[in-house]
Amino acid sequence: MKHLPYLLSFLMMVTACSKKESHLFRQLPSEQTGIKFSNQIVETDSSNILNNEYIFNGGGVAIGDFNNDQKPDLYFTGNQVGNKLYLNQGKLKFKDVTTASGTAAADRWSTGVAVVDINADGWLDIYVCAAMSPEEAKRANMLFVNQGLDANGIPVFKEMAHSYGIDASQNSMGATFFDYDKDGFLDLYVLNNEQVHTLPTNYRPKIIDGSAISNDRLFHNNGNGTFTDVTLEAGITIEGFGLGIAVSDLNYDGWPDLYISNDYLTNDLLYLNNHDGTFTNNIKDLIRHQSKFSMGSDISDFNNDGYLDIITLDMLGETNSRMKTTNGHTNYINYIFNERWGYEYQYSRNMLQMGNGAGLPFSEIGLMAGMARTDWSWSPLFVDIDNDGYRDLLITNGFPRDITDMDFGDFRIGMAPFLSPGKILDSIPIVQIPNYAFKNSGDGRFTDIGENWGLNLPSFSNGAAFADLDADGDLDYVVNNINEEAFVFENTLDGDKLAAKAYLNVRLKGPRNNPLGMGAKIALRYDDGQFQYYEHYLSRGYMSSVDPTVHFGLGNIEKAASLEIIWPDGKFQSLTDVKTNQTITLDQANAKIPNTAQLVFPLAPLETEPMFKEVSKSLGIDFVHQERDVIDYNVQRILPHRRSQNGPCLAVGDSDGDGLEDFMIGSAAGFSPTIFLQNPDGTFYNRELFANEEDKQYEEEGMVFFDLENDGDLDLY
C-alpha cells in the first residue's frame, strides 16, 4: 500500500499525456478527405523569384454546389500544376472528378477563380484567371460552363470564354461578377497585375488614361450570352498592380461599388458607382490610410453597427526581428515623392477601415483592433467561426523566399558576381509562419486565437474559402498551399455541447438572370435590438470564391425577430420569428416593392449628421502654419518622429480682457506666433506677436495663458 500514491500519480501522468489537446478546428488528412491537391512550384534558372516576383503568389479556392446535390464542392487553382475539382460525397469525403469534368486547365498558370451561373440555367459555372505565360493564348482567362451531369453523375464543363467575349489575357489575378448597371445581368470585373519593366516601387507619373498594361478590365453583360469590354467608357482607367477585389454598396445608395487593393507603388482604388454606367475613384476622400503592399481584401460589417467595414492585408512582421529585417517600411523620401507625384500615402501594415456612415470617411483602426501585424499575408476573410454572432477574421500567411529580407539584399549586392543563381536562391530566407485566426471580441477588437483554434500551422498559404462542408451548422475552412497539400479544417463546434451556438443558413433564389441573388442585402434582427448586416457577393479574400449559402451565427438565440432582404432589383422581403439551427431558402419571386420605411438599409441611419462643421474662413480664421523643412532623419536615422515638427502649439484665453476668448498659435523657428482676437460678433482678427527677427529664432512647442501676478489679466508663458 505504501506504493499506492506513486502508482496513482503515475496513472494520472499517463492519462494527462495521452489526452489530446482539443481545438475548435481539426485538420483532416488527405487520406480521409481524398483531397490531395498541392500547388507545387519548382524554380528554374529561367523562372525564379529573382526574375519573377509573382512566382509564389499562389492560387485560389472556389466552393459551390457544382452537381446540384445540395453539398458544397471544392475547386482549386494551380500554377505549374493543373486545377482540381472535388465533389462532396458527404461525411467530409471528396472525389476527384477533374478529368471527367474537363476543368483541369493544365496549360495555364491559373490564379484567381470566381463562381457564377453565367447562363442562368441552374448549374454553377467557373471563371478561371490566368497569368505568367509569355504566350498570350496561355494567358487567356477561361470560362468553364456547366453542361449538366453525365451518366455517372459528374458535372461536365465546356470552356467558352472566347464565345462569351471574356477571354482577357492581361495577366489576371482575380475576378468578380456583379450587376454594376442594375439591368438584371451580372457583369464582370477582372483584376490585372502585369509588371512594368522598371521597378514597381520606383516613383513615376501615374497612368490614369487606361493605357497601362496593368489596367483592370470591366465587361458589360449584353444579356445575349456575350460581354463587351467597357473599361474606358466606365472610367476604369487608373493603373494598379491588383491583388484584391471586393464589391459592396459602400455609400449605401443602392448601387454596387468596388474596392481594389493594389501592390507596390500603385494606390488602392475605391470606385464609387455613378449610376450611369461609370465609376469615380474616391479613395482620397474616404480612406485616410492605405496599405502599401496591399494583398487580399474583404468587406463586411464586423462590429454589427450596420455599416460596412473594409480590410486589406500587408506584410508587417509581428515580431521585432521580422519588423527590423524586412524593408517594407516607409521613409521620408517616400513622403516627398508622394507629394511630388500625386500618390496617396501608404503604410506597410494591415488596414481595418471602420465604416462611419453614408458619405463619411472610414476610420482606420487596425492597430487598435489588434490585427495590424500578420507578416506576409494573403487572404483575409470575415466569418463567424464560433457562431457567437460576430464575424471573426481568418488570415493566410507565408512566402517561400523572402526577397524583402535586408540581410539577403546586402548579401546579394556583395556576392552576386561570384555566385551561381542557384547559390543565390538557396541563400534567400523563407517565411513559413502560421496562419492567423482572430476572434471578434464584439467591442471593435480582435484576439489572436490561432493556436487555440488549431489553425497555427506554419505553411505557404494563399487563397482560402469557407463553407459548411458537413452540414452541421458551423463553417469549415479550406486553404490552398504552395508545395504542400491543401488544408481542410473541420469546425468541431457542433460536437462541443457547452460551446455550441445557434446558426441560420440562408440560400437565395434570385431573379431569372441572377439566380444566386448576388448583390442582395440581408439584415437579421434580434428581439433586443441587435442585428447583423450582410451584402451577398462571392469573390472574397484572395483569388477565391466562398460558398453561395449565407451563414449567420446567433449565439444563444432561439429565434430571430426578423430576417429582411432587399434584392438587387430593389424588392423587399421579410420573415418574422425565424427559428434558428436550420437552412432556409428565400425566393425573390415572393418579394414585393418596398415602402419607404422598409428601405432603411443598413440598419443604422443612412444620413449621419457630423457633430462639427468647418467654419474657419467665415469667422476670419484664414491661417496656414509655415514650417521650415528640416529633415531630422539626416541627423539621426533612428528617430521615431520628426522633432522639428512637434508644433504648432495652441493656447486659448481672454488675452485682452474683453470677456471673449481669444487664441494664439505657435510658430516654427523663423516665424512669429499669431494671436487671433475675438470680435463681439464671434469673428476674429489676427496679428503677429513678434515684429523683430531676433524674437523669431525659436520654435514654440507649448504655451499657456494664466494670471501670473493674480492681477486679473492673463499672462502668456
CA–CA separation, 485 vs 35, rounded Å? Answer: 8
CA–CA separation, 161 vs 152, rounded Å? Answer: 26
CA–CA separation, 176 vs 217, rounded Å? Answer: 11
Confidence of residue 3 (pLDDT cuts 50, 70, 90): low
Q: Is it the case that residue 609 has pLDDT exceeding 70?
A: no
pLDDT at site 49: 87
Q: Is it the case that residue 327 has pLDDT exceeding 90?
A: no
Q: What is the DSSP letter of 17?
A: H
Residue 584: what are its φ and ψ, rounded to 5°? -120, 160
Confidence of residue 18 (pLDDT cuts 50, 70, 90): very low
Cell numbers found for residue 586 = 428565400
The residues facing 552 across adjacent strands are 504
CB atoms within 10 A of CB 355: 26
Cell numbers found for residue 175 = 475576378
Q: Report, as an integer, the average pLDDT of 375-386.
A: 97
Residue range(s) occupied by CATH 2.130.10.10 in the chain:
26-495
Identify the residue whose cell numbers are 521597378. Answer: 199
pLDDT in tens, 121-168: 999 999 999 999 999 999 999 999 999 999 999 999 999 999 999 999
Q: Is it the case that residue 386 has pLDDT exceeding 90?
A: yes
DSSP letter for each residue of 438-452:
EEE-SSS-EEE-HHH
Kindly report which listed range (134-138, 196-200, 247-251) carries the lowest average pLDDT score: 196-200
DSSP letter for each residue of 69-86:
SSS-EEEE--SSS--EEE
pLDDT at site 641: 80
pLDDT in tens, 414-447: 666 666 767 777 778 788 889 999 999 999 999 9
Where residue 550 falls (left for φ over 0; alpha for ψ -120 to 50; beta otherwise) is beta
CA–CA separation, 667 vs 651, rounded Å? Answer: 12
Task: Map residue 58 onto helix, strand or coil.
Answer: coil
pLDDT at site 425: 75
Q: Is it the case that residue 379 has pLDDT exceeding 70?
A: yes
Q: Is it the case that residue 72 has pLDDT exceeding 80?
A: yes
- Show contacts of 141-145: CB within 8 Å, 24+ apart: 141/166, 141/167, 141/168, 141/169, 141/172, 141/175, 141/190, 142/105, 142/108, 142/167, 143/118, 143/167, 144/102, 144/103, 145/118, 145/119
pLDDT at site 281: 98
pLDDT at site 11: 47
Residues 6+ apart with CB under 8 A from 86: 34, 35, 37, 73, 74, 75, 76, 94, 95, 96, 97
Q: Is it the case that residue 497 has pLDDT exceeding 70?
A: no
pLDDT in tens, 91-119: 999 999 999 999 999 999 999 999 999 99
The residues facing 394 across adjacent strands are 381, 437
pLDDT at site 597: 54
Contact at 8 Å (CB) between 189 and 175?
yes
> Around 338, how many Cα atoms within 13 Å sit in the side-chain half-sphere?
18
Residues 6+ apart with CB under 8 A from 10: none
Amino acid at 241: F
Among candidate residues 55, 50, 74, the one with its CA nearest the CA of residue 64: 74
Which one has a higher pLDDT value, 335 or 157? 157
- Domain 26-495: homologous superfamily in CATH: YVTN repeat-like/Quinoprotein amine dehydrogenase (2.130.10.10)
Q: Which helix (H) or strand (E) holds 286?
A: helix 283-286
Q: Is it the case that residue 603 has pLDDT exceeding 50?
A: yes
Confidence of residue 632 (pLDDT cuts 50, 70, 90): confident
pLDDT at site 404: 75
pTM: 0.90
Compute CA 128 distance to the chain's CA centroid, rounded to the nearest angstrom. 20
Counting residues of the chain whose pLDDT is more than 90, the rounded percentage is: 71
Q: Report, as an integer, the average pLDDT of 629-639.
A: 82
Render the burial of 60-79: b for 16+ CB within 10 Å, e for the rest: bbbbbbbbeeebbbbbbbbb
CA–CA separation, 205 vs 109, rounded Å? Answer: 31
Q: Is it the case that residue 589 has pLDDT exceeding 90?
A: yes
Average pLDDT of the chain to the nearest whole number: 90
Which one has a higher pLDDT value, 570 or 640? 570
Confidence of residue 14 (pLDDT cuts 50, 70, 90): very low
Confidence of residue 596 (pLDDT cuts 50, 70, 90): low
Q: Report, as an integer, the average pLDDT of 307-333.
A: 83
CA–CA separation, 122 vs 146, rounded Å? Answer: 9
Q: Is it the case that residue 608 has pLDDT exceeding 70?
A: no
CB atoms within 10 A of CB 702: 11
The residues facing 159 across adjacent strands are 144
- Show contacts of 683-686: CB within 8 Å, 24+ apart: 683/619, 683/620, 684/619, 684/620, 684/621, 685/620, 686/620, 686/621, 686/623
Q: Is it the case that residue 17 has pLDDT exceeding 50?
A: no
Identify the residue whose cell numbers are 460558398. Answer: 547
Residue range(s) occupied by CATH 2.60.40 in the chain:
502-599
CA–CA separation, 674 vs 691, rounded Å? Answer: 11
Residue 572, exposed/middle/buried by CB under 10 A (0-12, 13-18, 19+)? middle
Task: Map residue 632 onto helix, strand or coil.
Answer: helix
Which one has a higher pLDDT value, 649 or 325? 649
How far, CA to CA in Å, does 597 sit from each of 305, 433, 530, 601, 606? Answer: 18, 50, 18, 10, 12
What sign for the dihedral angle of Cα 240, 244, 247, 252?
A: negative
Q: Is it the case that residue 698 has pLDDT exceeding 90?
A: no
Q: What is the DSSP letter of 376?
A: S
CB atoms within 10 A of CB 277: 17
Provide, for the chain, the percentages of residues in helix, strand and coil under a 3-state DSSP scheme, each rounded to the nearest 5. Answer: 15, 35, 55
Counting residues of the chain whose pLDDT is more than 70, the rounded percentage is: 90
Domain boundaries 502-599, CATH class: mainly beta
The residues facing 439 across adjacent strands are 447
DSSP letter for each residue of 241-270:
EEEEEEEE-TTSSSS-EEEEEEETTSPPEE
pLDDT in tens, 275-316: 999 999 999 999 999 999 999 999 999 999 999 999 999 999
Which one has a higher pLDDT value, 232 or 20? 232
Q: Where are the beta strands (DSSP E) in 510-640?
A: 521-525, 531-535, 539-540, 544-545, 550-555, 559-566, 572-579, 582-587
Q: Is it the case that residue 19 has pLDDT exceeding 70?
A: no
pLDDT at site 418: 65
Residue 201: what are its φ and ψ, rounded to 5°? -95, -5
Render the burial of 610-635: b for 16+ CB within 10 Å, e for the rest: eeeeeeeeeebeeeeeebeeeeeeee
pLDDT at site 199: 63
Cell numbers found for residue 157 = 464543363
pLDDT at site 106: 95
